[in-house]
Structure 1
Amino acid sequence: MRVLVAPDKFAGTLTAVEAAEAIAAGWRRHAPDDELDLAPMADGGPGFVDVLHAALGGELLVVTVEAVHGEQVPATILRVGDTAYLESAQSCGLHLLESAGGGAELASTSGVGELLLAAVDGGATKVVIGLGGSGTNDGGGGLLAELGATTDGVIDAGPGCMDMVTTVDLAPARERVAGIELVMASDVDNPLTGLFGATKTYGPQKGIGEDRIAAVDAMLERFAVATDRRISLEKGAGAAGGLGFALLCLGARREPGIELVTTSVRLAERARAADLVITGEGAFDFSSRSGKVPYGVASVAEQALRPCVALAGQVLVGSREMRALGIESAYSLVDLVGEERAFGDPAGSLAALAERVARTWSR
């Protein structure tokens, strides 16, 4: 039997590569003769570069850039031919916001600008930037400032410092990336501001209190008016706390992150060669439909007329919702081994779950 193993990361415990290896190890314990094809996945958030490197090869370049509050962190650029792949979360991820002990209102995307410049200076003619898992909400002001945009206020120290901004000149930043094809890998279609904007939708998970939502959104609105109000209304402008807005201002086009990765790893071709497709993530719930890996993998499996099952830390949907997502069955790590063991030994626990699932699905 041929099995395609295509999980996302299990946030906080396993990378996508580690999750795929754990599932394979457990499956082989029950069905050692099955042929396993490992295809770790990502949607543009954490793990984006690692997954593409595993699939595409290429050269990894480690650079040191600014994190959300000015501290220095390592980040990786993947170079495949003339194309460079970046992961914004490496310099402005939510985990960095938490470790820095500061808030999103003073968090900057300057480090993403540094990464972009390093890729361009390294000779890339196409740069793909994975958006997702960000801890910033600055409308990409830090990135624009790093590329040379000028202003009469401050745009590189988080939205909390944007209250005096009235003009932003994008010409120097646009000139810096002239001739470079920019692609933002994101499934988020929120605008920058408003009821469905970056602050209202994602601000609370970044620590912006309910009493501050309106004020922070107003600051981003001021920034948008000073920069390009029309672009701020476009789909995807609110991605990664407004990094999408900054990239759209520079002429980037948006591609769904999961589609970009599935194409890069030739998932459709590999699914057609399999008898069963396995996916997974930390928490499998109905939000997985919004551009998440399990829904993307299940869609590919459905087109290939192959069954798809999911292994997850927790399964938070019923059978009807599960099938609406294209998943035949979903299995919970916590239900099998308990929460303590699931977090204490995530790889071993996931392997145990995969071994149990193999008893049902392997021939």
Structure 2
Amino acid sequence: MRILIAPDKFAGTLSALEAAQAVADGWHRTDPSARTELLPLSDGGPGFVEVLHTALGGEVHRAEVTGPLGAPVTAEYLLDGDTAYVESAQACGLHLVPAEDRDPGRTTTHGVGELVAHAVRAGARTVVVGLGGSSTNDAGAGLLAALGATPSDHLGHGGGTLAEHVDAVDLEAARQAVAGVRLVAATDVDNPLLGIHGASAVFGPQKGADPDQVQRLDAALAAFADRVDPDKGTRDVPGAGAAGGLGFALLLLGGTVESGISRVLDSVRLAERLDGADLVITGEGSFDSQSLRGKLPHGVAQVASGHGVPCIVTAGAVKVGRAEAAEAGITETYSLVESSGSVEAAMNRSAEELRALAADIARRWSR
């Protein structure tokens, strides 16, 4: 039996590679003769550069950039020919901010702009920015400041400053910094910048915002958008709200939004690797309604379904019914919380519990 194991990260517990290895190890406990092929994946968030480097080769560059709270961090991007792949989470990721310091009114995307500038200086003519896992809610103002937009002193200091301190914004220098460069926002989030489906309302609470702060952040982003997008042609583009509005900033600079999942799945040649597979196993930390709006397991399931290969999802928690999952091309779902008996066990012993779950799945599926 040949099994392709293609998960995303289990956020907060396992990288995509660690999750794939745990599934393979568990499966072999039950079925040592199975051929397991590991294919860790990313949808544009953490792991984006690592996954694409494995698939494409190219050269990984490192740069010291401004982290989400202003302290320097070391981040990587991939240069493959004249195309650079930037993982925004390496410069502004939620994992870079201690839980007690999480405040999307303070965090900045300045380091992402520094990475983009670094890639352009290295010769990139296309820069693909993977969006996901951010701690920010600044509408990409930090990125714009890093590329030369003014007034940079306030643009670069978090989303909470945008309404009170930014009266006018000049984007000309930022646009010149990326002139002739194709910018791509790689995301499968289709949220606009503002409103009940926007960056602040949907993602702010995940980054530490309480309901009152969500309202203040949305108002700050609206005030900023009025200054830089007076014709309102960009703020409502699907994906503008990705990564706390980082998608909005890339669009202001002439960028486009593309599916992060599609780009990754094409790069790793998932369709080809499914040839001859008996089963594909994917997964992520929480498989919920957002997952069915185009997150990685959904993308894997769609490709697998087109090749007639059953697709299983393993997740820390499963919050999607069987009928919804089946409609998305998913054959079965399995939850670590249910198999281990508690959220605590699923979080604290993720690898061990995932191995045990995979061994149990193998007993049901091996032939």
Sort the TM-score into its range (normalised by shorter chain).
over 0.9
2:302 is aligned to 299
Counterpart residue type for residue 23 of structure 1: V
Q: Taking every aligned residue pair, what percent have the same amino acid on both sides?
A: 54
2:185 is aligned to 184
Q: Give 1:322 shift.
A: 2.3
1:206 is aligned to 207
Counterpart residue type for residue 342 of structure 1: A
Structure 1 range deviating more: 313-322 or 116-125 = 313-322
Are 1:266 and 2:266 counterparts? no
1:148-205, CA deviations, whole angstroms, 9 ceiling, x for partnerless residues? Answer: 0123982111122122323211111111111111111101122212232211222222
Structure 1 segment 106-255 matched on structure 2, within 5 A: 106-151=106-151, 154-162=154-162, 163-228=164-229, 229-255=232-258
1:119-164, CA deviations, whole angstroms, 9 ceiling, x for partnerless residues? Answer: 1111112111100111111110000011001239821111221223
Rounded Cα–Cα distance in structure 2 between residues aligned with 1:102 and 1:359: 43
Rounded Cα–Cα distance in structure 1 between residues aligned with 2:339 and 2:208: 33
* Alpha carbons of structure 1 residues 121 and 103: separation in structure 2 relative to 1, 3 Å: same
Rounded Cα–Cα distance in structure 2 between residues aligned with 1:153 and 1:165: 10
Rounded Cα–Cα distance in structure 2 between residues aligned with 1:96 and 1:317: 30
Contact 1:153/1:164, CA 8 A, preserved across alignment: no
1:314-345, CA deviations, whole angstroms, 9 ceiling, x for partnerless residues? Answer: 22233222212321111222322333443333
TM-score (norm. length: structure 1): 0.95
Q: Give 1:214 shift.
A: 2.7
- The answer for unaligned runs of 5 or more in structure 1 is none
Alignment length, in residue pairs?
363
SS in 2 for 1:60: strand
1:344 is aligned to 348
SS in 1 for 2:105: helix
Contact 2:117/2:147, CA 8 A, preserved across alignment: yes
Rounded Cα–Cα distance in structure 1 between residues aligned with 2:283 and 2:304: 14
Q: Give 1:298 shift.
A: 0.6
Structure 1 range deviating more: 234-243 or 155-164 = 155-164
1:57-96, CA deviations, whole angstroms, 9 ceiling, x for partnerless residues? Answer: 2222222111111111111111222211111111111222
Rounded Cα–Cα distance in structure 2 between residues aligned with 1:125 and 1:2: 40
Contact 1:17/1:51, CA 8 A, preserved across alignment: no
Contact 1:52/1:265, CA 8 A, preserved across alignment: yes
2:330 is aligned to 327
1:211-268, CA deviations, whole angstroms, 9 ceiling, x for partnerless residues? Answer: 2333322221121121123212222111111100110011111111111111111111
Contact 1:139/1:220, CA 8 A, preserved across alignment: yes
Counterpart residue type for residue 330 of structure 2: I
Root-mean-square deviation (CA, aligned residues, Å) is 1.7
Contact 1:69/1:102, CA 8 A, preserved across alignment: no
Counterpart residue type for residue 55 of structure 2: A
Counterpart residue type for residue 329 of structure 2: G
Rounded Cα–Cα distance in structure 1 between residues aligned with 2:159 and 2:195: 15
Q: Give 1:351 shift.
A: 1.7
* Alpha carbons of structure 1 residues 13 and 260: separation in structure 2 relative to 1, 3 Å: same
Q: Give 1:112 shift.
A: 0.4
TM-score (norm. length: structure 2): 0.94
Question: Of residues 350, 359, 365 in structure 2, which corresponds to 1:361?
Answer: 365
* Alpha carbons of structure 1 residues 122 and 190: separation in structure 2 relative to 1, 3 Å: same
Are 1:23 and 2:15 counterparts? no
Are 1:104 and 2:104 counterparts? yes
Q: Give 1:98 shift.
A: 3.3
Q: Give 1:100 shift.
A: 7.2
Rounded Cα–Cα distance in structure 2 between residues aligned with 1:333 and 1:103: 30
Structure 1 range deviating more: 191-200 or 95-104 = 95-104
SS in 2 for 1:129: strand
Q: Give 1:31 shift.
A: 2.1
Rounded Cα–Cα distance in structure 1 between residues aligned with 2:346 and 2:213: 36
Counterpart residue type for residue 224 of structure 1: A
Rounded Cα–Cα distance in structure 1 between residues aligned with 2:27 and 2:214: 47
